Amino acid sequence: MLQPLRILFRPKWMVSRSSASYVSRMRYLNKIKEEDEACRAALQSGNIFLYHKLAPLLRWTDSGIYQLPALQTKDVEEILEKLGEDKEMVKESILINCTEQNEAQFSFDVGAIEQAAVEELCRGTFVDLRKAFFLLRGSEAPLVARGQALLRWHQTNGFCSSTGQPTQRNQSGSQRVCHSSGITYYPKMSPVVIVLVSDGKRCLLGRQSTFPRGMYSALAGFCDIGETMEEALRREIAEEVGLEVESIQYSGSQHWPFPQSSFMVACHATVNPNETQVSVDKVELEDARWFSLEEVQEALTIKAPPRNNKGEPTVFWVPPSYAIANRLIQEWANLQHLKS
């Protein structure tokens, strides 16, 4: 029997922010998303995060950490002019969010401009997003992922799939329209269900052949069109490891930018402890097996796995803390502790 969904934790934003300031911020954000004039005005006083071919600009700070530098619009215009480019290009910035002080935040890809020249002027380095995820802290990683996802979406949705005509964006970049067919396109995420299966004592983790050596994660799969999340979850577990899920509990969700935008819905699930024989679909997974609490606890302590002389990890480890898989595994381990 499927159990009703239950929120296992309360995200920080649900408890720490006063509702009045949150509501006014969301209404302001919606206004600049929808109204071109308001968005243009917001860009004048907003913050811009720079990307080069979708790699975000990071800056090493005096306090010994990497930061996502927020540039002012006039700074970006100055950089463009110094490099002999049209400063009006800055208007192509895409709205991604706004700060608690209602300052709009944008992403802008400098594209074909020489990378080293921009890096020198900005005192920063363009870093691949996967690496940036490791280097950034707190809310900066999801912010930079969102900025990249929106830029990528615009770069790959320049034409209407019905007429083949160019599509035009609104000022904020929240949509693109084909004026020939009248179709409006919105940025998309693919829904994915990710699940930590338990038999009450052990948890089931799997690995794809493309994962770094030794890394096992919770099982995941894309939802088919027309499926509920629960149906997708049960189907994926049946397909990938040949097990039938008995109960499901919702844990949380995450936007995952790799390789393209997915909306990860994370759940815990249980199987009958008398029916735990795994039969792995070798097309999807290289391996899947049950892990004990002790093994999982050990893996959770590993921040950077030890590596052999080829640079390959030599132990069992799990995805880093920014991945929702890590949180599922952590939650499961905590729950086992409470039970014992």
Footprint of ligand NDP (CB under 6 A): 190, 192, 194, 217, 220-222, 236, 254, 256, 258, 262, 264, 284, 319, 323-325
Given the complex with ligand NDP, which of 134 and 258 has the nearer CB atom? 258
Per partner kind, with CB cut-offs from 5 to 8 A, the member of ligand NDP, Mg ion, none near residue 325 is ligand NDP
Closest approach of ligand NDP to the CB of residue 84, in Å = 39
Separation CA 205–CA 196 (nearest Å): 7
Count the residues in the chain: 340
Per partner kind, with CB cut-offs from 5 to 8 A, the member of Mg ion, ligand NDP, none near residue 93 is none
Q: CA neighbours within 13 Å on the CB side: how many for 70?
A: 14
Given the complex with ligand NDP, which of 98 and 145 has the nearer CB atom? 145
Per partner kind, with CB cut-offs from 5 to 8 A, the member of ligand NDP, Mg ion, none near residue 171 is none
Given the complex with ligand NDP, which of 80 and 193 has the nearer CB atom? 193
Per partner kind, with CB cut-offs from 5 to 8 A, the member of ligand NDP, Mg ion, none near residue 132 is none
Taking residue 101's Cβ as centre, other Cβ atoms within 10 Å add up to 7
Residues in the interface with Mg ion (CB under 5 A) total: 2
Type of residue found at 27: R
Copy the structure tokens of residue 182: 């009248």
Pairing of strands 104-109, 47-52: parallel
Given the complex with ligand NDP, which of 17 and 137 has the nearer CB atom? 137
Per partner kind, with CB cut-offs from 5 to 8 A, the member of Mg ion, ligand NDP, none near residue 192 is ligand NDP
Given the complex with ligand NDP, which of 39 and 205 has the nearer CB atom? 205
Q: Evaluate whether 185 touches 200 at the Cβ level (below 8 Å).
A: no
Q: ω into residue 259 within 30 of 0, thus cis?
A: yes
Closest approach of ligand NDP to the CB of residue 91, in Å = 31
Find, among 138, 102, 141, the residue nearest to 22 by Cα. 102
Which residues contact residue 287 at a Cβ distance below 8 angstroms, ignoring those fewer than 6 apart?
A: 206, 207, 216, 280
Q: Evaluate whether 137 touches 143 at the Cβ level (below 8 Å).
A: no
Separation CA 196–CA 175 (nearest Å): 35
Per partner kind, with CB cut-offs from 5 to 8 A, the member of Mg ion, ligand NDP, none near residue 190 is ligand NDP
Among the residue ranges 33-41, 220-228, 289-297, 326-334, the one whose residues contact Mg ion (CB under 5 A): 220-228
- Judged by CB under 5 A, the residue of 221, 242, 252, 305 near Mg ion is 221
- Site residues (vs Mg ion, CB under 5 A): 220-221
